[in-house]
Structure 1
Amino acid sequence: MTPDELSLALTDALRAAVTESELSVARDAIPAQVKVERPKNREHGDWATNIALQLAKSAGVPPRTVAEILKARLEAIAGVSRVEIAGPGFLNITLDAAAAGALAKNIVIAGARYGQNDSLAGQVINLEFISANPTGPLHLAHTRWAAVGDSLARVLRASGAKVSKEYYINDAGSQMNNFAASVLASIKGEPTPEGGYPGSYIDDLAHQVLTEHPAIRELTEVAALPVVRQAAYQAQMADIKETLEAFGVHFDVFFSEQSLHSSGAISQAVDRLRAQGHVFDQDGAVWLRTTDFTDDKDRVLIRANGEPTYFSADAAYYLSKKDRGFDQKIYLLGADHHGYIGRLKAIAACAGDDPEHNIEVLIGQMVSVNGARLSKRAGNIVELRDLLNWLGADALRYSLGRSPANSPLSLEPEQLQKASNDNPVFYVQYAHARTKAVDRNAEAAGVGVVSADFAFDASLLEHPTESELLAALGSFPSVVAEAAKFREPHRVARHLEVIAGAYHRWYDACRVTPQGEEPVTDLNRTRLWLNDATGQVLANGLDLLGVTAPERM
């Protein structure tokens, strides 16, 4: 019996008690699905719920009275071995071995689908992250959101949401002119202009531009700059995409800021917001009255000289997302972007949306890598490309994904390169590789290979380490759902470590292959199901983090 199945059984029991007048509870007070959790002390049972305490006030009776009514109904459910009332009204539920052990076979049959849920079904989400300027290579500051953003998209999709991963290319404004001027200066053998970009990557881009446009030196600066800007921009974006590909991060949409300017989307956005009643003219400029929606000051959309502001592009971009059918827009921004939260929510409100529902801004804190060297190409940054070459995509993604993004993080390269239990990614990947080794050994020893008709007796999985492992495997779907709900993919990583620990303890205590001349029994075959179930859950979880599940280590 899975946690979800038990939750539904609890919900059904509660509704039946209300229908049959055992309990007098308002219908809207009954949750859609009663939540069950693992008790901290496993001696208190397999699962626990505080639903009796939640409903006591609505029922007008003490919590233990509610618990007694539910206890009688739960004990009649197939697969429930024992129900005990603890404290003021907690229900501790113990499943019989067969009901608990059946989970192993169900997981193997479900395969890659195990862990998926429909908690966010019907939600259509635009998830924007990284959005680095295309004026240089991706670096350490972008790395955390690359890992967390991609993993967040995966858990959102696993929970039933439709998600579009989007990269907003900041390819408009003065920084692009400075970028082009820097590349052109390198082409001409001149020093980097004031406000320009240093680093040997500029020289590399200059070489590429010169190869594509060998006559560029013969043009005037006015004529050359647009050519250099476009060619260098395309080359730098190709580098960014290549680096992301190596990191296992794929975007559904690369959205150009410049397209908002060239398509007239900004002026159209101003007209639409004016029609909503939030645009006003003052001192020759066009303003958005964002103070109506908790922003600290009103924002200029169009300057007095007729030039649109960066904020106007933000507004047009938000409306673009809305027009493309995204009910929810999630922005993943860096630690220095706290000030954007109020203005982005104000844009949503001015556009007629609910800023508490239609837009969500997540702020990530800084990450550092001890001993990381500054990039030789970029001069003053730590490049993502160098980190990948140094630590590898798996170690980097897992270590970035296992901590809350809103907390500062310092990575220890020496630890991440260790083949030991001190290295979290090794600990989890090794557990998966060990399940595959057990499979190979079981086949060689004549236990067999798990298949649809392979012997399985769930009641045989009664060792304490098997109960612990099954409990951890059974919690996986709810962990995925909570990771999606709270936008915290690190919950998946931490739970994989719980599963890995439970598996290693089970491996030490329970044999799958018989020793010596011992015959192969159904216990060996049933344990092989549990082994394969563990391997499947570890693989599913690692995939949600964008990390590989090796078969050998």
Structure 2
Amino acid sequence: MTPADLADLLRATATDVLTSRDLDASVLPAAVTVERPRNPEHGDYATNLAMQIGKKVGANPRELAGWLAEALTGNAAIDAVDVAGPGFLNIRLAADAQGAIVSDVLAAGAAYGSADTLAGTRINLEFVSANPTGPIHLGGTRWAAVGDALGRILTAQGGDVTREYYFNDHGAQIDRFARSLVAAALGEPTPENGYAGAYIADAAQQVQQARPDVLSLPEGERQEVFRSIGVDLMFEHIKTTLHDFGVDFDVYFHENSLFESGAVARAVETLKDSGALYEKDGAWWLESTRFGDDKDRVVIKSDGNAAYIAGDIAYFQDKRKRGFDLAIYMLGADHHGYIGRLKAAAAAFGDDPDTVEVLIGQMVNLVRDGKPVRMSKRAGTVVTLDDLVELIGVDAARYSLVRSSVDTSIDIDLELYASEGNENPVYYVQYAHARLSSILRSASDLGVTADAPDLALLVSEQEGDLVRTLGEYPRVVASAASLREPHRIARYLEELAGAYHRFYGANRVLPQGDEEPAPIHTARLALCGATRQVLANGLNLIGVSAPEKM
């Protein structure tokens, strides 16, 4: 019986108890809260349901808890129920009911933890979207890891997720990039506000290889060639880097296409016609302050040119026209203002502002020997995704970036994540999976199987803790999806690995020497198989490998 199953049982039992006493069962929450007590001696699970609804139904919470305890005790899945304090219920499951969690995991396999809560919901998940003017820096790297993990988690909850990269190939930054390439090709200093680094010289050389005549072209045509070829080269580098990082996109959307196709102009006219824009000082403004922005935003400047937000507005409209029910934007720490303006854009088109969600990610710092690492060998001014992978590998890089909530800045200790020890969280989790894989291989060599296990034999403290931790996994995945917080998966995996290591240290799984296999070995082997499955499932959700050997 998982926590979700117990919550359903509690709600059904409470409905019967209240109804039988002519009390109002409609006050019951849609989802009953069930938690694991900090002290295992208090039971397997606890709930404050009686305290939550006691006054609402006109009953003393502790007395109501007693009625619920009496009703629950009659259920075969419940071993004991105690009333504590002002009305807490401490519940201990029957051994076979608790062991059924292991059966559930083994039966579901890779699907354990999945659900259909988002079935029928089309989600556009836009992340990374780094400018094609240089390699992906650490901020974009964090979004690559977190965004890909979130896409996997939302898909596991039944969502129809499209991963999208918004390719910023329109605007002043592209002009500066092109001028930087030209300067590098001519051996001149980097232009003011231009881009520097060895990658610029490399790209300039590749442009010349593709167009040997480029430096002989007129200045305007020359810059356009460097712009066109250089942007394509950088974009291909970005895509290759992301692919090697385990991140691929379904759609690469070019910002410039919104202007070339007339989508920006059409979107602006639509908003003018609907009255969503107002004119002031010769410019057209979106009243985004109504949606939390700190000021209204210019959409069309007084000179008639489109402001940057015009592209954002047209881009949102394009997403809705493609049939997406929800547009999630994952943006950097300096993009808080986009929350209000994007929600305003949605409202201006007649959509619910909650059609838009904006997640803001904070900074990432690398630390070695207690000191910050700030410079890249190739990019010059910033540390890049390629640098991080070179230093600690893909798995450690992804895990370290996913492990913390995105609304907090993080310091990645390079020595820690390159080490092979329990202090390294990704190693700790992966080692648990590898050790379990080794046990299952040894069991096969010994002829011990997990067929028809008597899971009611799993009664030791460590066994119970491990089983209950397995039962938490579906709820953790659901929370990670609903709150858009992939770090919950990583933290859970560390908890599960810890529960497994404690179990392994206190319970012998396989027979020793001439000892004949016994039912307890079969039960423990089944528990090991279930634990290995959940570790693999969770690691897959955050895009980290589950090694068979280490």
Pair in the same fold by TM > 0.5? yes
Query: In the alignment, what sits opposite 1:410?
Result: 411
Query: In the alignment, what sits opposite 1:509?
Result: 506
Write the distance in 1 (CA, Å) between the matches of 2:374 and 2:294.
40
- In structure 2, the CA distance between the partners of 1:247 and 1:73, relative to structure 1 (3 Å rule), is same
1:171 to 169, 172, 175: 169
Write the distance in 2 (CA, Å) between the matches of 1:23 and 1:333.
53
Pairs within 5 Å for 1:272-283: 272-283=270-281
Indicate the larger mover: 339-348 or 91-100: 339-348
Q: Which amino acid aligns with 2:475?
A: S
Matched, 1:84 2:85: no
Query: In the alignment, what sits opposite 1:435?
Result: 436
Describe the SS at the equivalent of 2:341: helix
Matched, 1:388 2:389: yes
Query: In the alignment, what sits opposite 2:140?
Result: 142
Q: Which amino acid aligns with 2:100?
A: A
Query: In the alignment, what sits opposite 1:257?
Result: 255
How far 1:468 sits from its partner (Å)? 0.7
Query: In the alignment, what sits opposite 1:540?
Result: 537
Q: Does the 8 Å CA contact 1:276/1:352 hold for their aligned counterparts?
A: no
Write the distance in 1 (CA, Å) between the matches of 2:523 and 2:291.
60
For residues 216-270 of structure 1, give each alpha carbon's deviation from its aligned partner in whole angstroms, at most 9, with x where no partner exists: 2221111222222111111101110111111111222211111111111111111
Matched, 1:526 2:523: yes
TM-score by length of 2: 0.96
For residues 25-80 of structure 1, give each alpha carbon's deviation from its aligned partner in whole angstroms, at most 9, with x where no partner exists: 252x3333322111111111111111212222321212123323322322222211
For residues 94-129 of structure 1, give each alpha carbon's deviation from its aligned partner in whole angstroms, at most 9, with x where no partner exists: 111111112112211211111112343443322222
Query: In the alignment, what sits opposite 1:493?
Result: 490
Q: Which amino acid aligns with 1:16?
A: D
Which stretches in structure 2 are left out of the alignment for 5+ residues?
none
Query: In the alignment, what sits opposite 1:284?
Result: 282
Q: Does the 8 Å CA contact 2:54/2:64 hold for their aligned counterparts?
A: yes
TM-score by length of 1: 0.95
Query: In the alignment, what sits opposite 2:15?
Result: 15
Query: In the alignment, what sits opposite 1:307?
Result: 305
For residues 444-468 of structure 1, give each alpha carbon's deviation from its aligned partner in whole angstroms, at most 9, with x where no partner exists: 22213x4xxx131011111111001
Matched, 1:374 2:375: yes
How far 1:494 sits from its partner (Å)? 0.9
For residues 173-222 of structure 1, give each alpha carbon's deviation from its aligned partner in whole angstroms, at most 9, with x where no partner exists: 11111111211222333332222211111111112212222222221111
Describe the SS at the equivalent of 1:201: helix
Describe the SS at the equivalent of 1:370: strand
Describe the SS at the equivalent of 2:46: strand
Write the distance in 2 (CA, Å) between the matches of 1:109 and 1:348.
43
- In structure 2, the CA distance between the partners of 1:464 and 1:126, relative to structure 1 (3 Å rule), is same
Write the distance in 1 (CA, Å) between the matches of 2:225 and 2:259.
19
Query: In the alignment, what sits opposite 1:4?
Result: 4
- In structure 2, the CA distance between the partners of 1:207 and 1:23, relative to structure 1 (3 Å rule), is farther
Q: Does the 8 Å CA contact 2:293/2:337 hold for their aligned counterparts?
A: no
Describe the SS at the equivalent of 2:80: strand
Write the distance in 2 (CA, Å) between the matches of 1:119 and 1:82.
32
Pairs within 5 Å for 1:47-446: 47-355=45-353, 357-371=354-368, 372=373, 374-446=375-447
Q: Does the 8 Å CA contact 2:398/2:543 hold for their aligned counterparts?
A: yes
Q: Does the 8 Å CA contact 1:46/1:95 hold for their aligned counterparts?
A: yes
- In structure 2, the CA distance between the partners of 1:444 and 1:26, relative to structure 1 (3 Å rule), is closer
Q: Does the 8 Å CA contact 2:122/2:323 hold for their aligned counterparts?
A: yes
Describe the SS at the equivalent of 2:404: coil
Q: Does the 8 Å CA contact 2:292/2:339 hold for their aligned counterparts?
A: no
Query: In the alignment, what sits opposite 2:29?
Result: 31
Write the distance in 2 (CA, Å) between the matches of 1:375 and 1:293.
39
Write the distance in 2 (CA, Å) between the matches of 1:345 and 1:92.
44
Q: Which amino acid aligns with 1:22?
A: R
Write the distance in 2 (CA, Å) between the matches of 1:239 and 1:66.
65
Q: Which amino acid aligns with 1:267?
A: A
Q: Does the 8 Å CA contact 2:289/2:340 hold for their aligned counterparts?
A: no
Q: Does the 8 Å CA contact 2:2/2:468 hold for their aligned counterparts?
A: no
Q: Which amino acid aligns with 1:245?
A: H
How far 1:291 sits from its partner (Å)? 3.1
Q: Does the 8 Å CA contact 1:120/1:156 hold for their aligned counterparts?
A: yes
Write the distance in 1 (CA, Å) between the matches of 2:63 and 2:274.
54
Write the distance in 2 (CA, Å) between the matches of 1:513 and 1:297.
67
For residues 313-368 of structure 1, give each alpha carbon's deviation from its aligned partner in whole angstroms, at most 9, with x where no partner exists: 1111121222222222222221122222222222222222332x222222211110
Write the distance in 2 (CA, Å) between the matches of 1:373 and 1:277.
48
Write the distance in 2 (CA, Å) between the matches of 1:335 and 1:369.
17
Q: Does the 8 Å CA contact 1:23/1:66 hold for their aligned counterparts?
A: no
Describe the SS at the equivalent of 2:334: helix
Q: Which amino acid aligns with 1:387?
A: L
Write the distance in 2 (CA, Å) between the matches of 1:204 and 1:343.
38
Residue identity over aligned pairs, in percent, reads 51
For residues 149-196 of structure 1, give each alpha carbon's deviation from its aligned partner in whole angstroms, at most 9, with x where no partner exists: 111222222222222222111110111111112112223333322222
Write the distance in 2 (CA, Å) between the matches of 1:26 and 1:506.
41
How far 1:132 sits from its partner (Å)? 0.8
Describe the SS at the equivalent of 1:420: coil
Describe the SS at the equivalent of 2:359: strand
How far 1:373 sits from its partner (Å)? 5.6
The alignment of Structure 1 onto Structure 2 pairs a total of residues equal to 546
Q: Which amino acid aligns with 2:427?
A: F
Q: Does the 8 Å CA contact 1:23/1:59 hold for their aligned counterparts?
A: no
How far 1:477 sits from its partner (Å)? 0.7
How far 1:312 sits from its partner (Å)? 0.8
Q: Does the 8 Å CA contact 2:403/2:491 hold for their aligned counterparts?
A: yes
Q: Which amino acid aligns with 1:181?
A: R
Q: Does the 8 Å CA contact 1:455/1:522 hold for their aligned counterparts?
A: no
Write the distance in 1 (CA, Å) between the matches of 2:457 and 2:442.
21
Describe the SS at the equivalent of 2:230: helix
- In structure 2, the CA distance between the partners of 1:147 and 1:46, relative to structure 1 (3 Å rule), is same
Q: CA RMSD in A?
A: 1.7
Q: Does the 8 Å CA contact 1:25/1:55 hold for their aligned counterparts?
A: no
- In structure 2, the CA distance between the partners of 1:63 and 1:170, relative to structure 1 (3 Å rule), is same
Q: Does the 8 Å CA contact 1:80/1:95 hold for their aligned counterparts?
A: yes
Query: In the alignment, what sits opposite 1:463?
Result: 460
Q: Which amino acid aligns with 2:23?
A: S
Write the distance in 2 (CA, Å) between the matches of 1:63 and 1:274.
58
Q: Does the 8 Å CA contact 2:146/2:486 hold for their aligned counterparts?
A: yes
Which stretches in structure 1 are left out of the alignment for 5+ residues?
none
Q: Does the 8 Å CA contact 2:453/2:519 hold for their aligned counterparts?
A: yes
Write the distance in 1 (CA, Å) between the matches of 2:425 and 2:229.
43
Write the distance in 2 (CA, Å) between the matches of 1:552 and 1:293.
52
